[in-house]
Amino acid sequence: MAAIGVGFFLGFALQAAQAAPAPVDCKNETRRAVGYWVGDWTVVDTASSAPVASSRIEWVVDGCAIRETYEQQIGPNGKPMRYGGTSHTAYDAASGQWKQFYVDTAGRVALLQGTLQEQRLVLDGQARGKQTRMIVEALPDGNVRQRGEASTDGGADWTPTFDFTYRRK
């Protein structure tokens, strides 16, 4: 059985190497446009400025994507909680869209996609029967604001789900 697994992996790796496209410049202006979000952050509730989490966002895969590692210690109403999540966000030249894959400590998965305009990344997706939106924008002071919204009526009305400000450590 192990030989089958190794053989399958090697066959897949050889096939991928043979079909590999020409290298992409992941350090070009389009792909680096979310660089404002890269760093080590203290995440605070935007309304109260109370710290709720820490986040590390870094370039990965030779600069072709960013990975966020998010660890939240404070929940709604200031109550202690343990929550975490990880995402990979990258620009997909084939579709002209930014895409994000997110998974959290509850095993929930979200697939989001959208656009970046003037240092404002807007990603939409579906989660638990709702249309969701995440907006990540650079602020003039060097911080980053991330807020979420949800809609149950196809996007006619949006309800805020969270509003955080990322402050550099």
pLDDT digits (tens, 9 = 90+) for 98-135: 999 999 999 999 999 999 988 999 999 998 788 999 99
Check residue 58 and give its pLDDT: 98
How many domains does the chain divide into?
1
Q: For residue 133, what are the β-bridge partners?
A: 124, 149
Q: Are 55 and 41 in contact (CB under 8 A)?
A: yes
Which of 2-6, 140-144, 145-149 bottoms out in mean pLDDT, i.e. has the lowest?
A: 2-6
Mean pLDDT, the chain, as a whole number? 88
Q: Is residue 2 part of a domain?
A: no
Check residue 13 and give its pLDDT: 53
Q: Is residue 161 part of a domain?
A: yes
What's the CATH code of the domain at 104?
2.40.128.20
pTM of the model: 0.83
- Using a pLDDT cut of 70, give the percent of the chain over it: 88
Q: Is residue 59 part of a domain?
A: yes
Q: Is residue 16 part of a domain?
A: no
Segment 65-81 shows an average pLDDT of: 90
Check residue 17 and give its pLDDT: 56
Q: Is residue 12 part of a domain?
A: no
The band of 10, judged by pLDDT with boundaries at 50, 70 and 90, is: very low
Q: Give the domain range for residue 84.
A: 27-168
Q: Is residue 6 part of a domain?
A: no
Q: Is residue 135 part of a domain?
A: yes
Among all chains, which residue has been given the structure tokens 């400025």? 49
- Residue 130 CB partners (closer than 8 Å, separation 6+): 150, 151, 152
Q: Is residue 51 part of a domain?
A: yes
Check residue 74 and give its pLDDT: 85
